[in-house]
């Protein structure tokens, strides 16, 4: 949407303030974006150029202008570090075996030989036994 208004300067003081001559025509054009969008942000810089001024067949004047909106470049933001990938089943099984005291090479060899699933099954058995021991009722000392 746009609206253009025309005003003729008739007052000498106003003409002096605007640095124009009395009788000058002032055209004011308001340009708005269609819909809920902004035509420019509050940080934009504007520029306008007169492309042409010519007389119409009916004795009026046609003024053509170019209007430019210069938006500032967005600030560069450092990209966050990519998330560390989750360990594979083989890597997780090898880490468990290293916790048990095996060397890096021994853990990798055991994973290749038995597979991660068998190592996880053994780990679950050990953890179940630890949990059962913690949850078992205390035994009475025998006399």
- The predicted pLDDT at position 7 comes to 92
Position 79 in a domain = no
| Residue 77 lies inside a defined structural domain of this protein | no
Rounded to whole angstroms, the Cα distance separating 20 from 14 reads 9
Examine the domain organization and report whether 93 and 120 are in the same domain: yes
SS3 114: helix
**Residue 50: per-residue pLDDT:** 92
Q: What is the mean pLDDT of residues 118-141?
A: 87
E strands of the chain, at which residues?
2-8, 25-31, 45-55, 61-70
Rounded Cα distance, 92 and 99, in Å: 11
Cα angle vertex 16, ends 12, 21, to 5°?
A: 70
pLDDT recorded at residue 99: 92
7/66 same-domain check: yes
User: Which pair of structure tokens corresponds to residue 32?
Assistant: 């708005």
Q: Residue 104: which domain range?
A: 89-135
Q: Between these two residues, 106 and 33, which has the higher pLDDT value? A: 106
Counted domains in the chain: 2
Q: Is the pLDDT of residue 25 over 80?
A: yes
As given in the structure block, the two tokens for residue 68 are 């430019």
This prediction's pTM: 0.45
């Amino acid at each position: 949407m746009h609206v253009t208004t025309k005003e003729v300067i008739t007052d000498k003081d106003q003409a002096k303030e605007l640095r124009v001559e009395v009788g000058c025509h002032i055209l004011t054009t308001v340009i708005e974006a269609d819909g809920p969008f902004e035509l420019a942000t509050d940080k934009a810089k504007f520029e306008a150029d007169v492309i042409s001024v010519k007389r119409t067949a009916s004795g009026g004047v046609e003024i053509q202008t170019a209007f430019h909106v210069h938006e500032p470049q967005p600030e560069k933001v450092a990209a966050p570090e990519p998330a560390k990938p989750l360990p594979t089943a083989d890597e997780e099984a090898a880490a468990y075996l290293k916790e048990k005291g095996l060397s890096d090479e021994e853990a990798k060899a055991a994973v290749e030989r038995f597979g991660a699933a068998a190592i996880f099954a053994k780990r679950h058995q050990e953890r179940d036994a630890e949990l059962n021991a913690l949850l078992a009722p205390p035994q009475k000392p025998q006399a």
